[in-house]
Structure formats: structure tokens, C-alpha cells
Amino acid sequence: MTVLELCSASRRFPRVQALDRVDLAVRPGEVHALLGENGAGKSTAIRILAGLDHPDPGEVRLDGRAVRFASRTDALRHGIGLVPQTESLVGELTLAENLALAEPHRVVRRRAASRRLREAATTVGVAVDPDVRTRDLGRGQRQLAELVLALAQDARVLLLDEPTAALGPYETRDMFTRLRALAAAGVAVLFITHRLAEVRAVADTVTVLAHGRVAWSGAGSDVDDATLIRTMVGDLPDTPTREPRTAIGAPVLRLAAVSADCGDPIHDLSLDVHAGEVVGVLGVAGNGQRALAEVAAGRVRPAGGTRTETGSVAYVPETRLDGLLPGRAVRWSAVVSRLREPRFARRGVVDRGAVTRFATDLLARHDVRPPDPGLPVLTLSGGNQQKLLVGRELDNGPAAAVLHGPTQGLDVRSAKEILSEIARAAAGGTGVLLVSADPGEVREVADRVVVLSGGRVVGEFPAADFDDALVRRLTAGGDE
């Protein structure tokens, strides 16, 4: 008995086949996990089911009949609710008002809306106050509120795109209890995750997507963890044999018992980075990475503890355009962090020629293409923007460098180039702190690995001990 299904659905985007003849079926009363790496096609599949995109070719079937939803609202009218990865509640409005937004009545029926939300909340056993501005709810509460909202709109299929990405362990467990309750009430639940532990905790059925294809599908009880991981990530490439760096020197950046907020807090965190060393920071996103990077880079003063640096500290922030001047010519981004140097100014007036010469040289050294210092930064591809930023920051051999997700969203080639830049900087004596979501790249370039969870360092080991078993434990979310 299937409610909603994808039948041999394909979807191609420029340069990538997001889905390739995918079959996927959700049934009432069942929690179905859609598992896969980043870019495996999970979000595309859910977007299609929710009416935000269309298969080409292929079809969506509802109760066995082919359908084509005009929009998310149209899909919702057919009982298909989506809890997207990014929030979709209007923060200024209460939950009841958020419900009223989507209703056919021109005059708000506040009391009726509140009552329906309370009923829906009871079904899943959540205590959500429908009359509080949703902005004032906690992150976990908002996530549950989205779920209740979909339910109050009579959703019989619920699609959740990484519902636990922003949640802590306690909230995650709570979310799973609600999903089970929903299934028990006869709702079909499909949720995206890339954590194996979550599949084990809540799913009846598992579908693994890899490179846009269904790599495995069936009951969760029929398969062991090792098989799931293998189908999900493929065979992990061998660790490149790398000489351990011998020239590791004195600490260049020390964090002693620092605490900071930044919306993603760290507590009592101590960490040293030595000259010539690459320290990789791993962990599930949202566990303090942002605060750690900002504090280490010296952009945010810690609320407690001390930070010591011995020289200049370079910083590549998580959002690359934060470190560049997006609308202006590349030459200005190339020098913006060192315009004070005397060579760029003559009696307080910027020497345009010197800036251009320096920028041209920098672009050539770091292989930024096209190597034209006059082009606006925004016309460069993401990979070249990142090479420009990383190149500028690492170019003059800083004492320490903090890089937050420097290869995020880049294609394999650009990512490799960034990693070799990092390795080169370390060989030149820079102490590097690499905050990353990708165990693969950390393994490739780091000397030492720290694992971050809940804003604390929960594990630290030399990169030599960093083997597949550990990758598995991290991927599976077993680091909590």
C-alpha cells in the first residue's frame, strides 16, 4: 500500500545528473529514511515529491495515479507536507497566524487555527503554544512547530529534509519520538539524513542514494551498518601515504579554556596550534565550529578564557564572500587585508599600479582563473573565488591560519588545489586550524584531529590513527 512514489524519476541540472531513474515509495504508518552523502540527490528527490521541482523524465504518483503538482501549496492541498531544511515559518507571526496564512478565509479565524494546531500537536505529543511568535521559540521547538503546522493542514505524507541538522542530541531524540508517533497515527514519513545512527534509531525502511541512483533499498532490519556505509560512500579511497611532518614547532595560536557564543557556542575549549602543523577539526555541523573559527581567527573576543597569538593570523571564513569584496574588481579583494602596507600607497593615496601588479602576481601564483585583476569577484566561479581568498590569506606566510570549510561546495579539482595550498603553507611553517565537515579532506591534510561536539573537544588523536573505523563512527554520528 503506497501513498506517494517516484517512478523512474530522473532530473538533470547543468553539469550534474541529480537523479537517475530513481524509484522511491512511501507507505502510511512507516518511517522511511533517505540516506546518502552530500550531493547524492536526496534533496532533489524530496523537492520533487513536495511539488517544488519536476522529474524529467519520470513521474510522481499519488495513490497510484500520476500527478504533477504546480507548487508546494498545491502538493499540500493533496496532503503532502514538507518540512524544509531552511525554515519556512514566518518569524514575526504566531504559529496560528502561520496556519492562517495558508487558509482560504480572508478574515483570520484565530481560535479555530489555534484549536487545530493543538489537536495536531496532541497527535504527536508535542506541547507547542500556537499563540507565541515563532521567532521566540527555540530551534528544536520551531522544527517541531513546522511538523505540527504540516499536520494541522491535514498532511498524510510528511517529507522532512534533514530535520535533525540543526538539533542537539536531546532534541533529535525528541524529534524521533514524534516521528514514530506520527507513523503510529497512520502518516507516511520520509526523512533525509546522512547519519547512520538516526536510521537505526527511527526508520523502518531505508533507501540509500549514491550519485543520483538508488544504491540500496529495503527494510532497515535486513542490512548491517557496514553494507549501508559501503553503498552510501562507495569504497573509501586509500589514505595517501604521507610522511608525518617533522618540522612542527612551538605553539603559534593558543586557546585556553575559551567560551563564546556566536549562536553556536563553545565552552571551556582549549586547543594549541603549532608552527608547521595542520590541526583538523571534525564534528557534525552546529557543534561550535563557527564560534571556534571566529574566536581562533580573532574576529570575536571570547566571553571567557584567553587566546594568544604569536604573529599574524589569516582567516578564511565559512562564507567566502565575507572575506572578499564581491561586487568590485578582483584586485581590491587581493589587497584589501594589507592595504596598509607602504608599497600600496604613496603619501596616503592608493597606488593603483602597485595594487594591480600585486594582484596579477597573486592570481598567477595561486592559479586563479581568469587571471584578470579587473573582473568583478562575482564573475569568478566559486572555486576561483575560494582560491583567491585562500591564496591571499596564505600568501605571505602568516604565523597561523584559520580555515572554516574551505572546500565546501567546490568541485573535486578546486578542492584538491585548496588542500595543496594548505599543505604548502604548513610546510612553510604556518600553523593551520582546518575546521571541516569532510573527514576525507581532514585525513588527507591534517597532522592531528580534534572532534568537536556540543561546543567541546570530545576527542583528539594524531592523524595516523585516523582510520576507516573512525570515519564510520563519525559518519554514523556516534561522536555524540
Partner 1 sequence: MVTEFLVFALVGTLNAATPLVLAGLGEVVLERSGAGFNLGIEGTMLAGALAGVLGSAAAGPWAGLAAGTTAGLCFGALHAAGLLAGVDTVLVGIVLTVLGTGLTTYLSQVLNPPGQPALGAPTLPVLGGSVGAGSVLAVGLTATTWWMLRGTRFGLRLRACGDDADIATTRGIPVRRQRVVAALVAGAFAGLAGAVLALASIGTFVPLMTGGRGFIALAVVIVARRTALGVVGGALFFAVFDALALLAQTYDLGLPVEAYQALPYLVTLILLCLEGQRRVRPKETP
- Phi and psi at 337, nearest 5°, equal -80, -5
Closest CA to 232 of 415, 443, 412, 34: 34
* Choice between 85 and 177, CB closer to partner 1: 85
Shortest spacing between CB 452 and partner 1, in angstroms:
19
| Cβ–Cβ under 8 Å, residues 290 and 455 | no
| Cβ–Cβ under 8 Å, residues 435 and 404 | yes
Q: Which of 56, 63, 103, 131 binds partner 1 (CB under 8 A)?
A: 103
* Choice between 50 and 426, CB closer to partner 1: 50
Site for partner 1 in 66-85 (CB under 8 A): 71-73, 84
Interface with partner 1 by CB under 8 A: which range of 11-19, 105-113, 169-177, 375-383?
A: 105-113
Shortest spacing between CB 133 and partner 1, in angstroms:
10
Shortest spacing between CB 237 and partner 1, in angstroms:
38
Q: Is residue 319 within a helix (H) or strand (E), and if so which, with residue range? A: none
Residue 278 CB burial class (10 angstroms; 0-12, 13-18, ≥19): buried
CB atoms within 10 A of CB 331: 23
Shortest spacing between CB 124 and partner 1, in angstroms:
21
Shortest spacing between CB 286 and partner 1, in angstroms:
17
Strands (E), 310-439: 313-316, 345-346, 349-350, 400-404, 431-435
x-marked contacts with partner 1 along 207-246 as a string, rule CB under 8 A: ----------------------------------------
Asked if 163 touches partner 1 (CB under 8 A), the answer is no
Grid cell, residue 59, equals 513521474
Asked if 93 touches partner 1 (CB under 8 A), the answer is yes
* Choice between 94 and 193, CB closer to partner 1: 94
Site for partner 1 in 261-300 (CB under 8 A): 261-262, 300
Grid cell, residue 430, equals 604556518
Q: Which of 56, 63, 92, 460 binds partner 1 (CB under 8 A)?
A: 92
**Count, residues near partner 1 per rule CB under 8 A:** 26
Site for partner 1 in 244-263 (CB under 8 A): 260-262
Asked if 91 touches partner 1 (CB under 8 A), the answer is yes
* Choice between 322 and 465, CB closer to partner 1: 322
Residue corresponding to grid cell 527555540: 138
Q: What is the DSSP letter of 303?
A: S
The contacts of residue 342 (CB under 8 Å, 6+ apart) are: none
Grid cell, residue 164, equals 535533525
Amino acid at 132: V
> What residues does 188 pair with on adjacent strands?
157
Shortest spacing between CB 82 and partner 1, in angstroms:
9
Asked if 97 touches partner 1 (CB under 8 A), the answer is yes
| Cβ–Cβ under 8 Å, residues 6 and 48 | yes
Amino acid at 452: L
The span from the first CA to the last CA of the chain, in angstroms, equals: 37
Grid cell, residue 452, equals 568537536
* Choice between 90 and 437, CB closer to partner 1: 90
* Choice between 43 and 333, CB closer to partner 1: 43
Among the residues of 268-329, which ranges form H helices? Answer: 289-296
* Choice between 261 and 438, CB closer to partner 1: 261
* Choice between 96 and 214, CB closer to partner 1: 96
Angle between helices 352-365 and 382-395 (to 10 degrees): 110
> What residues does 16 pair with on adjacent strands?
13
CB atoms within 10 A of CB 297: 23
Interface with partner 1 by CB under 8 A: which range of 1-9, 33-41, 103-111, 322-330?
A: 103-111
Q: Is residue 67 within a helix (H) or strand (E), and if so which, with residue range? A: strand 65-67
Q: Which of 40, 48, 62, 100 binds partner 1 (CB under 8 A)?
A: 100
* Choice between 258 and 275, CB closer to partner 1: 258
Cα separation, 425 vs 344, in Å, equals: 24
x-marked contacts with partner 1 along 383-402 as a string, rule CB under 8 A: --------------------
x-marked contacts with partner 1 along 303-342 as a string, rule CB under 8 A: x---------------------------------------
| Cβ–Cβ under 8 Å, residues 317 and 404 | yes
Interface with partner 1 by CB under 8 A: which range of 89-97, 357-365, 369-377, 380-388?
A: 89-97
Q: Which of 14, 64, 65, 107 binds partner 1 (CB under 8 A)?
A: 107
| Cβ–Cβ under 8 Å, residues 209 and 36 | yes
Shortest spacing between CB 316 and partner 1, in angstroms:
19
Shortest spacing between CB 294 and partner 1, in angstroms:
8
* Choice between 79 and 383, CB closer to partner 1: 79
What are the residues binding partner 1 (CB under 8 A)? 71-73, 84, 87-93, 97, 100-103, 105-108, 260-262, 300-301, 303
